[in-house]
């Protein structure tokens, strides 16, 4: 077995007086595909910078094989004195590297190389940084949030490029679909230390939940006191994930309603009856067209959005997603056609640029507006500390300045501020940027419980699958089409994913390849559930309900404060039974979820 190319051993580092890394390790062998995951602020980017040799740890060792080459993609690209993108990319080439590959990468990523760094958008800056990191074909490639600010065609291209990459890959990302397709090993950074799983991301969350549950049981057995806030933040993950089953059922019902509504309208002309209750129709467009002096960005588009719909808008950068969103919300007047908005709309927009956050104020002041220690949520006043905990902040952070929060923590703060405002229409523009996996779970749960309507622009395929009742996709030449279901449902019905704009210089041959697998899905429409699958689908809910009742009974018995000291054997018997029942419930929920998704896929066909 070949020795590792890169080893980090017992890395310690403080952030001010707070320990950030307390014995973290990382080993990377030739050709490995390692994903580094953990909560926002846990030190993932710092550990990656230690691996790149950019940050010196206070203690611990870093070893890089002398012959190995290493390149890294930082979360925030630094163009330094480079006057053009090509200068920036060329500066990253070694003497033996091929400049033609660098030129090819820029072309594939939709850049000419002549762009000025100061004038680049977030997505263009990320593409330029990717070209610089990928051009040398290093032995080890470190990528920190590579999909941030990229559109769906660029993400699909990057997936294929990295799948063909021969070197070792260490990846930080919160894009579940991206992680599933690229990772072969997982390193979990939690409370300063690392744990490794020699499997891909598809196995990680169940493994992490199991680790947390075992840790909680051990803490209970040893009768240790766990700080309540820390306990909730760590072990509440599994509870939220198990509640996903309820969300999946509700989402299936909403999607069915949306599918029937789309079928019922049939033609592009959709008129709401005057007798509909106030607020039932949130927005309705008929034959809407909008352009800016050239070809129309939106052409002859009609739709009807009802209360409680969750509508995703997807397309390549420059397709007109923001224009369509502004038309649907009445922020922009169409050139032709009509837009009718529902009555009594209270709209809240999530500011993803986070420019409205004052870096000097404290976290609690940002939530209360500096007015006392109360925040009004849903017409009720709540203490700011309790509301902070809903968004995974601990009480000690109440006086923390917004300016020192991580990108993910600022994202959570923006969510908390947006959802505290009274609204019945949420407009979310790239809400998943910088959010960790646990926060994404929390956001999905909040959106599932939200009683209003949601319009979301996102390039996160997994998030769209978990949230949306329908997806509006750019078909090219200003045409937009709505499909019932999430992103995967859209691909199955459409036969392909989202492609780059025809006029875009980025036309990588790899982009269509990810859509090849969904294109083979039409035969699935001829399938039907087997007798065993149908029987399981019908009986599993009853079985899950029975298991939940047994689990509740066992938990109530174990909650007795003197049970352990009074009857240790009984305590251990109940604990073992609880573990067994919870595992059986998790397996039943997973089986039900797979069967429900299969049933919905077949019916959608």
What would the pLDDT profile of 377-403 be if each residue is shown by its tens digit?
766 788 988 888 878 787 888 888 888
Joined together, the tokens standing for residue 505 give 């210089």
d(CA 210, CA 203): 11
By the 8 A CB rule, do 454 and 375 touch? no
Q: Was 39 annotated as part of a binding site?
A: yes
343 is in an annotated binding site: no
379 annotated as a binding-site residue:
no
Neighbours of 174 (CB within 10 A): 24
The two tokens of residue 554 are 């066992």
Kindly report the average pLDDT of the chain as a whole number. 82
Residue 319 known to bind ligand: yes
**Residue 69 in marked binding region:** no
List, for residues 482-537, the tens digit of each pLDDT value. 998 899 889 988 888 887 765 444 434 333 333 333 434 334 334 567 767 777 77
Look at residue 235 and tell me whether its pLDDT is greater than 50. no
Q: How far does Cα 556 stand from its chain's mean position?
A: 35
Q: Which of 443, 449, 349 minimizes the C-alpha distance to 40? A: 443
The answer to whether the annotation marks 38 as part of a ligand binding site is yes
Q: Which of 249-263, 272-286, 381-395 has the highest mean pLDDT?
A: 381-395
Confidence of residue 461 (pLDDT cuts 50, 70, 90): very high
Asked whether residue 565 is marked as a ligand-binding residue, the answer is: no
Residue 219, pLDDT score: 64
How many CB atoms sit inside 10 A of residue 192's CB? 19
Q: What percent of the chain has pLDDT over 90?
A: 40
* Confidence class for position 562, pLDDT limits 50, 70, 90: confident
Task: Find out whether 41 is annotated in a ligand binding site.
Answer: yes
Question: How many Å apart are CA 369 and CA 144, to the nearest integer?
Answer: 33
How far is Cα 90 from Cα 125, in angstroms, rounded to an integer? 15
Kindly give, in sequence order, each residue whose CB lies less than 8 Å from that of residue 591, ignoring residues fewer than 6 positions away.
536, 540
Confidence label for 262 from pLDDT (cuts 50, 70 and 90) = low
198-214 residue pLDDT tens: 999 999 988 988 888 88
Determine whether the annotation assigns residue 148 to a binding site. Answer: no
> Exposure string (b/e) for 521-558, b if CB count within 10 Å is 16 or more?
beeeeeeeeeeeeeebbeebeeebeebbebbeebeeeb
Q: For the chain, give the percent of residues with pLDDT over 70.
A: 84
59 annotated to bind ligand: no
Q: How far is CA 160 from the centre of its chain?
A: 20
From start to end of 145-294, where are the E strands? 168-172, 185-190, 193-197, 281-290
Residue bearing tokens 């797979």: 594
Q: Residue 275: phi, psi to the nearest 5?
A: -85, 0
User: Looking at residues 267-284, what average pLDDT do you find?
Assistant: 49
For residue 243, the 8-state DSSP code is T
Q: How far apart, in whole angstroms, are the C-alpha atoms of residue 99 and residue 89?
A: 9
Q: What is the pLDDT of residue 249?
A: 67
- The annotation status of 320 as a binding-site residue, yes or no, is yes
CA dihedral of residues 234, 236, 241, 243 (deg, nearest 10): 180
| pLDDT at 232 (0 to 100) | 45
Closest CA to 205 of 228, 174, 166, 168: 174
| pLDDT surpassing 70 at residue 265 | no
Question: Highest mean pLDDT: which of 93-107, 418-432, 587-601?
Answer: 93-107
Q: Which residue has the higher pLDDT, 278 or 103?
A: 103
Q: Has 321 been labeled as part of a binding site?
A: yes
Q: How confident is the model at residue 223 (pLDDT cuts 50, 70, 90)?
A: low
Average pLDDT over residues 277-294: 83
Nearest-angstrom CA–CA distance, 30 and 425: 50
Kindly state the tokens that stand for 460: 């996160």
Residue 44 marked in a binding site:
yes
Is 322 annotated as a binding-site member?
yes
State the pTM of this model: 0.71
């Amino acid at each position: 077995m070949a020795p590792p190319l890169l080893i980090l051993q017992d890395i310690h580092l403080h952030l001010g007086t707070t320990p950030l890394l307390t014995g973290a390790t990382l080993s990377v062998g030739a050709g490995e595909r390692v994903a580094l995951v953990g909560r926002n602020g846990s030190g993932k980017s710092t550990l990656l910078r230690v691996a790149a040799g950019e940050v010196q740890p206070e203690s611990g060792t870093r070893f890089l094989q002398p012959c190995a080459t290493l390149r890294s993609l930082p979360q925030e690209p630094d163009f330094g004195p480079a006057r053009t993108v090509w200068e920036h990319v060329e500066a990253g080439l070694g003497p033996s590297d091929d400049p033609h590959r660098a030129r090819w990468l820029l072309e594939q990523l939709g850049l000419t190389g002549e762009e000025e760094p100061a004038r680049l958008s977030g997505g263009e800056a990320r593409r330029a940084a990717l070209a610089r990191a990928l051009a040398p074909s290093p032995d080890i490639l470190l990528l920190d949030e590579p999909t941030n600010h990229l559109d769906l065609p660029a993400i699909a291209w990057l997936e294929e490029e990295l799948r063909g990459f021969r070197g070792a890959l260490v990846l930080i990302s919160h894009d579940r679909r991206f992680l599933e397709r690229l990772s072969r090993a997982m390193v979990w950074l939690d409370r300063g230390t690392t744990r490794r799983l020699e499997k891909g991301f598809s196995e990680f969350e169940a493994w992490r939940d199991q680790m947390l549950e075992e840790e909680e049981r051990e803490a209970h057995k040893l009768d240790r006191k766990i700080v309540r806030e820390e306990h909730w933040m760590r072990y509440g993950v599994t509870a939220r994930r198990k509640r996903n089953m309820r969300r999946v059922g509700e989402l299936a019902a909403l999607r069915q309603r949306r599918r029937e509504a789309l079928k019922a309208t049939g033609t592009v002309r959709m008129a709401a009856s005057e007798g509909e209750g106030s607020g039932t129709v949130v927005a309705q467009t008929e034959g809407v067209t909008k352009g800016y002096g050239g070809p129309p960005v939106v052409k002859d588009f009609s739709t009807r959005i009802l209360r409680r719909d969750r509508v995703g808008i997807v397309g390549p950068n420059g397709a007109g997603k923001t224009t369509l969103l502004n038309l649907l919300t009445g922020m922009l007047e169409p050139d032709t056609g009509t837009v009718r908005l529902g009555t009594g709309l209270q709209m809240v927009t999530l500011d993803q640029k986070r420019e409205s956050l004052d870096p000097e104020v404290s976290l609690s002041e940002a939530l209360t507006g500096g007015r006392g220690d109360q925040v009004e949520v849903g017409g009720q006043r709540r203490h700011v500390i309790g509301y902070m905990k809903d968004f995974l902040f601990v009480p000690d952070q109440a006086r923390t300045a917004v300016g020192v929060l991580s990108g993910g923590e600022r994202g959570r703060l923006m969510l908390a501020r947006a959802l505290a405002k009274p609204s019945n229409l949420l407009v979310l523009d790239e809400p998943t940027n910088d959010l960790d996996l646990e926060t994404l779970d929390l956001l999905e749960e909040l959106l599932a419980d939200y009683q209003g309507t949601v319009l979301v622009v996102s390039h996160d395929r997994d998030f769209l699958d978990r949230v949306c009742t329908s997806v509006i996709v750019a078909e090219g030449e200003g045409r937009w089409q709505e499909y019932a279901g999430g992103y995967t449902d859209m691909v199955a019905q459409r036969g392909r994913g989202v492609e780059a704009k025809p006029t875009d210089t980025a036309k990588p041959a790899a982009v269509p390849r990810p859509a090849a697998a969904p294109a083979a899905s039409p035969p699935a429409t001829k399938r039907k559930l087997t007798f065993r699958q149908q029987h399981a689908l019908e009986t599993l809910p009853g079985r899950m309900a029975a298991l939940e009742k047994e689990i509740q009974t066992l938990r109530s018995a174990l909650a007795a404060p003197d049970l352990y000291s009074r009857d240790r054997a009984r305590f251990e018997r109940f604990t073992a039974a609880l573990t067994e029942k919870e595992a059986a419930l998790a397996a039943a929920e997973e089986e039900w979820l797979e069967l429900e998704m299969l049933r919905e896929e077949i019916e959608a066909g």
